[in-house]
Structure 1
Amino acid sequence: MPTLVVIRGNSGSGKTTTAREVRRRYGRGAALVEQDYLRRVLLREHGSNRHDPVAPAFIDATVRSALGLGYHVVLEGILDSGGHGTVLRRLIADHAGPASVFYFDVSFEETVRRHAGRAEPIPVTADMMRDWYADRDLLSVEGEHVIGESTGFDAAVETILHVSGLAAASALTPCPTRCHRCAEKRRT
């Protein structure tokens, strides 16, 4: 049964970089679903819960599809409880396999500092970030793990891999289980 990992937090908290590294360390067989990519790039939808956005349902369908195809899924984004909480709680409850939720609890000042040092900057100001910032926006689901701002990058990645069980989870998809290219790499 595939593993579902949900990584949430405010803008600039480090969740995207961490989620990408979790997936990189896991390897093939894990899908990375990024809220910003689906909402901002694919749908070109503004981030607001005031206009009945499509993104929450689209994220839900994408994650369910990947899980149904045997992919472990790392879902990351702000995924605020007001706009995504109901969808996320239902997704977690409906998933028959292991599911873990991680929340990056980082102060506003630290999110602004981290945002300024991003490798891939996005055009937002501290004032814009303040409008989005939600203090300790937990989903309140069983086993939700809080990762504090003093947790280092490697420690956060290792925590997510091990607590979720992803570190020990076998790949379930054809690539790498039956893929000839992956088999060749294992032989060399």
Structure 2
Amino acid sequence: MLDDLVRDHRGTSRCYYLDVPLQETLRRHSTKPDLEYLAQVTDEHLREWYRERDLLPSGIEAVIEAGSTLDDTVKHILRDTSLDAVQPIDR
């Protein structure tokens, strides 16, 4: 499905894979403030869904390693997409 979306999109598309180990995924999930959501999506669900390094066969994803900080990740994506050269809009 993702390969089809990228292929059919007329503009430039970028795909990123955040490579986070299961234990870190579980830790981050537990910090979500929505208690109703946490009751619906349990750790057991995440364990069932989790696939280590589950990259698309086409290789279209850039991997963001687990150790990348939020700031580093945003900077990486901005550089990769050339959005780092776009001036911010102050609303």
Identity of aligned residues (%): 36
Alignment match, 2:81: 164
Normalised by the size of structure 2, how large is the TM-score? 0.76
1:97, distance to aligned residue in structure 2 (A): 1.9
The unaligned stretches of length 5 or more in structure 1 are 1-86, 171-175, 177-181
Query: Greater relative contact order: 1 or 2 (C-alpha under 8 angstroms, separation 6 or more)?
Result: 2
Taking a change above 3 Å as real, the CA distance of residues 110 and 97 of structure 1, as seen in their structure-2 partners, is: same
Alignment match, 1:135: 52
Q: Residue type of the partner of 1:113?
A: R
Give the Cα–Cα distance (whole angstroms) in 1 for the partners of residues 26 and 9 of structure 2.
35
Encode CA deviations 1:8-46: one digit per residue, 9 max, x unaligned. xxxxxxxxxxxxxxxxxxxxxxxxxxxxxxxxxxxxxxx
1:140, distance to aligned residue in structure 2 (A): 3.4
1:144, distance to aligned residue in structure 2 (A): 1.9
Taking a change above 3 Å as real, the CA distance of residues 154 and 126 of structure 1, as seen in their structure-2 partners, is: same
Alignment match, 1:13: none
1:139, distance to aligned residue in structure 2 (A): 1.5
Alignment match, 1:94: 8
Alignment match, 1:48: none
Matches within 5 A, 1:37-76: none
Encode CA deviations 1:80-119: one digit per residue, 9 max, x unaligned. xxxxxxx211111122321111001110001001111224
Give the Cα–Cα distance (whole angstroms) in 2 for the partners of residues 104 and 144 of structure 1.
10
Is residue 148 from structure 1 mapped to residue 62 from structure 2 by the alignment?
no
1:142, distance to aligned residue in structure 2 (A): 4.7
How many residues align structurally?
87
Normalised by the size of structure 1, how large is the TM-score? 0.40
Encode CA deviations 1:46-97: one digit per residue, 9 max, x unaligned. xxxxxxxxxxxxxxxxxxxxxxxxxxxxxxxxxxxxxxxxx21111112232
